[in-house]
Amino acid sequence: MARYLDVHPDNPQPRLVQQVVDALNDDALIAYPTDSGYALGCRVGNREGRDRILKIRGLDERHHFTLVCRDFSQLGQLVHVDNAAFRAIRAATPGPYTFILPAMPEVPRRLMHPKKKTVGVRIPDHVFVRELLDALGEPLLSSSLILPGEEEPRTMGWDIKEDLDHEVDIVIEAGETPAQPTTVVDWSEGEPQVTRRGAGDPDRF
């Protein structure tokens, strides 16, 4: 059964944040709130966690995983960002956007799109996620918690606990969570292409 952690939305309790970090370091899979609905997350090096995410979401190997980053400097270590993309992404983050960009060699191949060698990156504007990433000290491998047959991410921790009690290890509750997924902008070809309209304003791209 999944552990259920009720975290303060504005001042996350450090001991609870550390419990999540410890679990992630033990290769746990978590369901956690963001500024655009819930997501599934695990350590980048957790191969089983990656496979569990694909299974829960009913996705194949072509799925674009997202590396959730603490800040722009961390993001820049994972993907190639040209000058035009740099300015636009810097202005839009933190926020409810996912950017598809060419991955750096340091990114494991199993996390890239098999043909394009791209990966998604994002910097959420969410208090708990920022605290978690600070304590974890590395990006989080993540995917929106959109179940097969559904179009929007889950927004209620108790609802996720009920449906995925034996599929994830921890469910984190941290107040109200928006229902819209991120806006996805594919910048892998040098020009921005909005491939999913979501919580972030797509017109700025």
Residue 162, classed as helix, strand or coil, is helix
Sequence length of the chain is 205
**How does residue 183 score in pLDDT terms, banded at 50, 70 and 90?**
very high
**Which tens digit of pLDDT belongs to each residue from 139-157?**
999 999 999 999 889 999 9
Range of the domain at 123: 3-204
- The number of folded domains in the chain is 1
Question: What's the pTM value of the predicted model, to 2 decimals?
Answer: 0.94
φ and ψ at residue 78, rounded to 5 degrees? -110, -25
What span, in angstroms and rounded, lies between the C-alpha atoms of 27 and 30? Answer: 10
CATH number of the domain residue 132 falls in? 3.90.870.10
Q: How far apart are CA 28 and CA 36, in angstroms?
A: 22
Residue 5 confidence class, pLDDT cut points 50, 70, 90: very high
Cα separation, 184 vs 94, in Å, equals 14
Tens digits of residue pLDDT in 56-106: 999 987 788 899 999 999 999 999 999 889 999 999 999 999 999 999 998
- Bridge partners (DSSP) listed for residue 144: 39
pLDDT at 112: 86
